[in-house]
Amino acid sequence: MSDHYVQVKVQLEQMKSLVQDAEKEGVDTEEQVPVSSPPASVSPDPPSITIAGTDAANTSTSCKNRGKSRGKPAKEDKNSCGKHISVTLHSPVVMKNLNRLGHERTLHIKGTGKILQGKSEPNGNYVTIHQSKNIQDARREDGFKLARKKKPVTVDTSKAKTSLEALKLSIKQLKWKEFPLGRRAACDIYWHGVSFHDNENIVSGQVNKFPGMIEMLRKINLSRAVRTMQDLFPEEYDFYPRSWILPEEYQQFVTQIRLVKENDATVNPTFIVKPDGGSQGDGIYLIRDPSDLKLMAGSQAKQAVVQEYIQKPLLIDKLKFDIRLYVLIKCLEPLEIYIAKEGLTRFCTEPYQEPSQKNLSHVFMHLTNYSLNVHSGNFVHSDSQSTGSKRTLSSVLYRLAAKGVDIKKVWSDIIALVIKTVIAVVPELKVYYQADIPPGKPGPTCFQILGFDILLMKNLKPVLLEVNSNPSMRIEHEQEVAPGVFEYVPSPVDEEVKVGVIRDTLRLMDPGHKKPTISLPKTGCEQREEIPMEAESQDRNPDEGGGSLPSLCLKQVYPKYTKQFNYLRLVERIAALFIRFLGVKGNMRLGPTAFRTFIRTCKLSNSNFTMASVDILYIDITRRWSGVMPDSREAGMGLQAFVEAFFYLAARRFKSLSLKEQVAALLELCEAALASQLGVAEDRRSVSCSRAQQRGARTQPLGPTNPQLTSPAPLRRAASQDYRLHQRLKPRTLRANVEN
Ligand code: ADP
């Protein structure tokens, strides 16, 4: 842990004990100024662009007022009565806003009718907030009432890493309880900085990471998942640049580029090479000819994606920029996706020119990564949301709108891109999920915030660059405070956006915030028994009590737009078949026997396609995929290989159709076969059950009703066989949350 974080931790602990002391006294140390939130937008409205005006200033102030931990620690300044507390504020923006209001001021706390009296000190360094005695008494009473009503939600923040500061602010705003060192008893929420496995042995609650998300979103896996969707739905998935996986597809890459150039000599495409698993622009370079690839031979061969370079991006102030959009996957089954209405835009620091042999290596011109550009002398740190090298998305959309751009269309294209991308990765995520948290075993449920990097082309079409499983949630940035001296200083733009995203994610995951339940079939997610939220209610504040929090900055887009996108979820249905036949708990690969069982159960073999051909198909495909993924530890057929086999079977059976029609037709056939098997099994089971029960009823009126215990041996055997079959064919669901 860096000195910086040790320091921050100490400061935050000091603040925490201050808060606790104050709470003991019935004093609420949280300054609250009225927060006017951006108007809730009706889809596909863009993030409310009014933010760029007055509202944004208010929201931003409210965020910043909530205890900056950097710089001087908060001071407790008790007078002889011990009845007031002062909070030190450091953000220049905050100071400006407060000072504007004059030295003596009162703050009306929205939704509570309470009033704080404040005074800015002559030195301008901090604001002292006093509370009059009767207000404190009233507040204490309120506090007791609240405490009686509701236990605070508990959050384990011990593994939060760089999101810690934004998380602490969020927890504080929600008045939840933080466990910075972990807790022996279970917490409601575990906030992990890296992966699902940061804390092992969690058996309840909710974790902010899905198992397998890091693996799924590595550049190669994401490219593969999107490519599978491109094969099925080429038009719908044209938002992802053409990509080749290296070293495996090197030859295809070379051949295709040669053909393109032979067809049209004026075409001179550029490609961007990205190492698999790289981030922050590390190891990325541009090439114009396949011979420039830095390939290494044999085991040294670097896994990478080579991708068509978007040559004509949209520019603002002559600079290339990209969008960082925060997306919450609240639940895998049923799928629930939220998009943050506010995001960030990251600007290059050298004016853009289309790629030429001369400028290919100009990273400040071609790569928008903050981590690279921050080291350019041209990087502009700004407290304003609409200037500088990092700006809010709404400020950029506001500017585009002012130029006459149809930003509603841009925003709805971005929503579509996000939903389609999530649909592409969900099938494999479900395989990881059932392996890590097998149905029937205690474990937590998961949710995750993802960072989508999106480029707008000159024609305003959004292009997906990548998805980050661990988007940075830092709310401070590195700055050269003196020549050669770098320090982390608060970043108002980051804080504005990221604290909102974390806080509202927590609000959505609040285990106490349940909708009235209806009984739905088990689908393996804590929220599965809730009535899906109405689209209109999404932007409303989910806190029952709460007038003090702004409306949600996260907007539900799925299941809200189920109708428009559900037809794309074909691979997920293939994954459901795959999972059903996996058999052993914790397994992610299908063995040859399980593959045969799948073929038999779904009645896919016949005289033209014998079981011997099935075995050959299995061996062929599995062998090829194990060559492609040499590091895979388990033997057998993974989901991607199974999908390939499924496509092959579909094409064989329904020759005259398009691929997506072939796949849809084969899925229906398989699902119908399984349903009829299940129906037969259910029928047989209920017959044997009722027979057994009749016998049991005759002989043992008060005995147990389990057919296996009450029926004579032959019946018992039949019942137990049916039961096993039923168990095997029953849809394997993602596991239920046992605690919540
Ligand atoms: P990393 O994870 O290393 O940041 P990215 O895929 O995000 O890798 O690429 C880094 C940067 O390169 C992006 O932020 C963007 O500016 C630029 N970039 C990436 N892919 C493309 C592309 N296909 N066309 C144009 N620019 C791209």
Higher local confidence (pLDDT), 3 or 558: 558
User: Which of 129-138, 240-249, 408-417, 617-626 has the least mean pLDDT?
Assistant: 129-138
**CA-proximal residue: ligand 1, atom 17 (nearest):** 367
Q: Where are the alpha helices (DSSP H) in 328-483?
A: 363-366, 370-373, 393-402, 407-436
Mean pLDDT on 462-466: 98
Q: Dihedrals φ, ψ of 294, to 5°?
A: -90, 75
Q: Which atom of ligand 1 is nearest to the CA of 368?
A: 16
Who wins on pLDDT, 388 or 146? 388
- Structure-block tokens of residue 455: 């480029």
Query: How many residues are listed for the chain in this entry?
Result: 740
- Ligand 1 site-directed mutation target among 465, 466, 467, 472, most atoms within 8 Å of CB: 465
CA separation, residue 410 to residues 59, 311, 465 (Å)? 25, 19, 16
222 in ligand 1 pocket by Cβ < 6 Å? no
Residue 210 near ligand 1, beta carbon < 6 Å: no
Ligand 1, pocket-test mutation among 272, 365, 366, 458, most atoms within 8 A of CB = 272
Residue 484 CA to ligand 1 center (angstroms) comes to 29
Q: Is 472 in the pocket of ligand 1 (CB under 6 A)?
A: no
Residue whose C-alpha is closest to residue 382's, from 486, 491, 273: 491
Instruction: Judge if the beta carbon of residue 368 lies within 6 A of ligand 1.
Output: yes
Structure token pair of residue 425: 């990765």
Confidence of residue 516 (pLDDT cuts 50, 70, 90): very low
Please choose, from the candidates 179, 177, 150, 187, the residue with its C-alpha nearest in 3D space to the C-alpha of residue 514. 150
CA 737–ligand 1 middle distance (angstroms): 38
Locate the ligand 1 atom nearest the alpha carbon of residue 282 and give its number.
3
**Residue 307 pLDDT > 60, yes or no?**
yes
Distances from the Cα of 75 to the Cα of 15, 20, 129, angstroms? 8, 14, 11
Q: Distance, CA 314 to ligand 1 centroid (Å)?
A: 14
Cβ of 466 less than 6 Å from ligand 1: yes
Q: Rounded to whole angstroms, how far apart are CA atoms 101 and 40?
A: 28
Is the CB–ligand 1 distance for residue 280 below 6 Å?
Answer: yes
Measured CA to CA in angstroms, residue 556 lies from 60, 337, 627 at distances of: 23, 6, 40
Q: What is the pLDDT of residue 683?
A: 66
Atom of ligand 1 nearest to the CA of 309: 24
Residue 124's pLDDT is: 32
Distance from residue 273's CA to the centre of ligand 1 (Å): 9
Q: Which atom of ligand 1 is nearest to 468's Cα?
A: 2
Does the C-beta of 367 come closer than 6 Å to ligand 1? Answer: yes
Q: Is the CB of 272 under 6 A from ligand 1?
A: yes
Ligand 1 pocket residue status of 305, Cβ below 6 Å: no
| pLDDT tens digits, one per residue of 708-718 | 333 333 333 33
Measured at the CA of 516, the angle between CA 512 and CA 518, to 5 degrees, comes to 125
Residue of 316, 347, 367 to mutate, ligand 1, most atoms within 8 A of C-beta: 367
Nearest CA to ligand 1 atom 20: 465
Report residue 438 as tokens: 């097998």
CB proximity list for 336: less than 8 A, separation 6 or greater: 329, 330, 527, 556, 558, 559
Give CA 53 to chain center in angstroms: 29
Closest residue by Cα to residue 569 from 305, 200, 104, 228:
228
Instruction: Answer yes or no: is the C-beta of 278 below 6 A from any ligand 1 atom.
Output: yes
Confidence of residue 174 (pLDDT cuts 50, 70, 90): very high
Query: In 3-state terms, what secondary structure has residue 437?
Result: coil
Q: Please report the atom of ligand 1 found closest to the CA of residue 275.
A: 3
Distance, CA of 43 to CA of 710 (rounded, Å): 58
Q: How far, in Å, from the CA of 284 to the mean position of ligand 1?
A: 8
Average pLDDT over residues 681-691: 62
Range 375-382 average pLDDT: 89
Give 556 Cα–ligand 1 centroid separation in angstroms. 27
Atom of ligand 1 nearest to the CA of 310: 24
Alpha-carbon gap, residue 578 to 430, rounded angstroms: 10
Backbone CA torsion sign across 663, 667, 673, 676 = negative
Q: What's the pLDDT tens digit per position in 227-273?
A: 999 999 999 999 999 999 999 999 999 999 999 999 999 999 999 99
Kindly report the protein residue whose alpha carbon is nearest to atom 23 of ligand 1. Answer: 309
**Is 117 buried (19+), middle (13-18) or exposed (0-12) by CB count in 10 A?**
middle
- Structural domains in the chain plus CATH codes: 3-141 (no CATH), 150-241+314-568 (3.30.470.20), 242-309 (3.30.1490.20), 570-680+714-728 (1.10.238.10)
Q: pTM to 2 decimals? A: 0.74
CA 46 to chain centroid: 20
Beta strands 315-316 and 285-287 are unpaired
CA 139/CA 27 separation, integer angstroms = 7
**Lowest pLDDT segment from 30-39, 196-205, 342-351, 358-367:** 30-39
Q: How far is the CA of 281 from the centre of ligand 1 (A)?
A: 7
Give buried/exposed letters for 433-450 (b at 16+ CB in 10 A, else e). bbbbbbbeeebbbbbbbb
How many angstroms is it from 367 CA to the middle of ligand 1?
6
Residue 128 has a pLDDT of 30
704 touches 692 (CB < 8 A): no
Q: Which residues pair with 104 in a beta bridge?
A: 119
The b/e string for 219-256 (b: 16+ C-beta within 10 A; e otherwise) is bbbbbbbbbbbbbbbeebbebbbebbbbbebbeebeee
- Computed over every residue of the chain, the mean pLDDT equals 76
Q: Which atom of ligand 1 sits closest to the CA of residue 308?
A: 23
Q: What's the gap in Å between 465 CA and the centre of ligand 1?
A: 6
Checking if the pLDDT of 533 tops 60, the result is no
Residues 6+ apart with CB under 8 A from 346: 321, 322, 324, 368, 369, 370, 373, 389, 390
**Is the torsion defined by CA of 62, 66, 72, 74 positive or negative?**
positive
307 lines ligand 1 (CB under 6 A): yes
